[in-house]
Amino acid sequence: MDQNVIQNIKLGYLKLLLTSILNDPARNENLEKTLKNVNLRDVAFSLANCWASVSTLLINKSWKNLLFQFTMPQNIRLPSPGISKLQQCHLNYSG
């Protein structure tokens, strides 16, 4: 996947984490203690929210860059059935 999508998720997660720390006055007295209290459930929900906020345009653009390598150009001509039969006969005869 394109780095833009991953970077977008990382920045979104960091923003959510900092927002949650700064909005809770009881927890933001000691940053180290607050970071130790973050649990896996909080991380999973935050990442899910960040993934949901990634635009479909950005995801489509990322896949377009990857799928471009796998598309077949329109101007390539495939061999006709007659040529394939001749090649098969040649392989059978020489083998």
54-93: per-residue pLDDT in tens?
A: 888 888 888 776 666 555 556 666 666 666 676 676 566 6
Q: Of the candidates 45, 44, 23, which has an alpha carbon nearest to the alpha carbon of residue 34?
A: 23
In a domain, 77, yes or no: no
Q: Count the Cβ atoms, other than its own, within 10 Å of residue 46.
A: 20
Task: Please check whether residue 8 is in contact with residue 57, taking contact to mean a CB–CB distance below 8 angstroms.
Answer: no
Phi and psi angles of residue 30, each rounded to the nearest 5 degrees, phi first: -130, 110
Q: Look at residue 24 and tell me whether its pLDDT is greater than 80.
A: no
**Residue carrying the six token digits 């040649």:** 90
In a domain, 94, yes or no: no
Q: How many domains does the chain have?
A: 1
Give the domain range for residue 7. Answer: 3-71
pLDDT digits (tens, 9 = 90+) for 25-52: 666 567 777 778 888 998 899 999 999 9
